[in-house]
Amino acid sequence: MNNIHSEEPLDGKHWEWRQACQCAEVRVCSDIARNYGLSLIAEGLFRSIEEDISDDVLEHALEHIKQSFNTEAIHKECQDFLEKERKDAEHLSARTARLPSSHSRAWKRDDTRHVLGHHRYQLPVGQGGFHVGTLRNLGLDEAVWRSSLGDDAIPLADFMYVYDCGAIPIAGAVKAVRSIVCRRVSRRLDMLFVSHFDRDHICGIPHLLHPKKGLQVDTIVMPYLDDIERIIAFGRSAATSAEPRAERFYRDIVVDPIGTMTQFAPRQIVMVASGEEGDTDPGFFELPPTEPPRSDPDGPPWKINGAGSPRSGVPSARRTPEGAIVVQKVEFNIADGIEGGWLLKPHVKKAPLQDREAFCAAVEVMLKWPRGSFRKKAQSKEVRRLLVTKHRTTLSRAYAWAFGEKNETSMSLYSGPTKPEEAGAVVYKSKERDCARVGWLGTGDACLLDPQTVRKYQDHYSEELDWVTTFMLPHHGSAHNFDPDLPVVDAELWVAAAQPKNSTWKHPAPGIVKAIKASGAKFRKVDSSPNSLLVERMVVFWPG
């Protein structure tokens, strides 16, 4: 503001005149600022000061200021401020916008210091789950950025992960595995995530990790389930028959999951325990402490954080007698540098305790075991083997009675850029957005039907949900697992991995598909047709 040139006050109160001139100057400046849609921070303060100044003195001060004040300077200040805001907004947009690859300024990221290419594939295996994600450090060469969108990412990936690998019938998964393996020259798979122990999500694993014909996995991540929960998972599928090669592996992993996975020689097996309030796995705290999981010194670097809001440091870890590492509320930060990276964040949704207890009681009644004896008996590997080979019908009937159409424990997975609010992206055939919303959320067979469960789910992913653009419907789009009136996330693309032409299941549910389309979002069904393959390609930038 200009210096105030006071004149002799009419009433001789010098201090009142000076305050009146200051208030008058603020009024003049505020009037000018409002013409530009701006406001002065000090306006409220000076309005309160005016209450102690007489109307006559204030009116005289206004006339004096209007005659002596340099209004052109204030107009210039407002114009300069708006121009700076415009340039700042353009600069922010240039850094953080999500743009299609054809956009004129898609690749103009002048202050970029870290660039990742990310491709993800939802493979057309039919009724099942098989998701592949890749990450590649693209450096600072714009030509490499552009070409990466058209490249087959699987041979070139610095880091590759898989979320579930199975199908019914198994032929769809085997065919997809062969395609992946033959393109992955290094034969390296950095992480395998298993959502739950159901045939149509795991039966392809022996082919994917075959010692001679498959990939060599570094880290396997799966939910931490006790003996009872794995038998419950078997009971859900026991009513349906399966091909012998799929059934053998399924029985083995229910009886001894760690031993079964160890045969594939992973460097480490990580089990994620539920950390939800009121549903913490009691066995977690009975295990001895151990070092948390770490990245392979000879492979792409990654680190783990404790998941939560805000994120915590390295979470505590426990070790099972078989050598697996058990953690709670964990996230994996895959990065080549500190500027930016990729987040893989699991969440374990446990089956309700009352349903688990009802299942145990039903088995005890049907097998004429003493009441309350099932849990202790199930600790024996021989008893578990006997149950899955000789008592399929019993387990199936017990599951139907205790769970009905509900599902057992399942592990979801979020995949998206770290620090997404600072990142920008170019996405092949995508709509323009003012932020790098490129995240993906897979749900396995999680049951997201009641408001309390949905709220807990949203709390766990509170920092990620706004960045999700692609959402995998749970249990292939079943109405028994998802209520469109309780939306988990405002996704742009909703995907169901399902084979709808089947007499046993009818996925995805027509009502869910109708609700998604009515909301204005896109829906995509990935089935056994090769044309249904879903590929999402993007380049993500972080400023230095």
Contacts of residue 86, Cβ cutoff 8 Å, sequence gap at least 6? none
Contact status, residue 269 vs residue 323, Cβ threshold 8 Å: yes
Angle, in degrees to the nearest 10, between helices 71-96 and 14-35? 50
Contacts of residue 389, Cβ cutoff 8 Å, sequence gap at least 6? 251
Contacts of residue 194, Cβ cutoff 8 Å, sequence gap at least 6? 164, 201, 202, 205, 220, 221, 222, 223, 411
Structure tokens at 125: 């295996």
Q: Please, what sign has the CA dihedral across residues 109, 114, 115, 118?
A: negative
Structure tokens at 441: 């959320």
What distance in Å separates the CA atoms of residue 476 and residue 527, rounded to the nearest whole number? 10
Q: What is the 3-state secondary structure (H, E, C) of 459-483?
A: HHCCCCHHHEEEEECHHHHCCCCEC
What distance in Å separates the CA atoms of residue 3 and residue 15, rounded to the nearest whole number? 15
Q: What is the 3-state secondary structure (H, E, C) of 203-234?
A: CCHHHHCCCCCCCEEEEEEEECCCHHHHHHHH
Q: What is the pLDDT of residue 213?
A: 94
Kindly list the strands in the beta sheet with 468-472, ordered across the sheet, starting from the edge strand earlier in the chain. Answer: 302-306, 330-334, 342-349, 410-417, 439-442, 468-472, 493-497, 522-526
What distance in Å separates the CA atoms of residue 485 and residue 231, rounded to the nearest whole number? 32
Where are the domain boundaries for CATH 3.60.15.10 in the chain?
112-543
Contact status, residue 337 vs residue 135, Cβ threshold 8 Å: no
Q: What is the pLDDT of residue 26?
A: 87
Contact status, residue 105 vs residue 434, Cβ threshold 8 Å: no
Round the CA-based radius of gyration of the chain to a whole number and report it.
Answer: 30
Give counts: helices (H), strands (E), the chain: 18, 20
Q: What is the pLDDT of residue 407?
A: 64
Fold adopted by 112-543 = Metallo-beta-lactamase; Chain A (3.60.15)
Q: What is the pLDDT of residue 474?
A: 92
Q: What is the pLDDT of residue 440?
A: 98
Mean pLDDT per 10-residue section of the chain, whose length is 544 residues: 45 74 87 87 81 84 84 88 73 77 84 90 94 94 92 94 93 94 96 92 94 96 89 80 74 92 96 75 81 92 77 81 91 75 90 84 93 91 92 89 75 94 90 91 90 89 94 90 89 90 73 93 94 96 82
- 162 CB-contact burial (10 Å; exposed 0-12 / middle 13-18 / buried 19+): buried
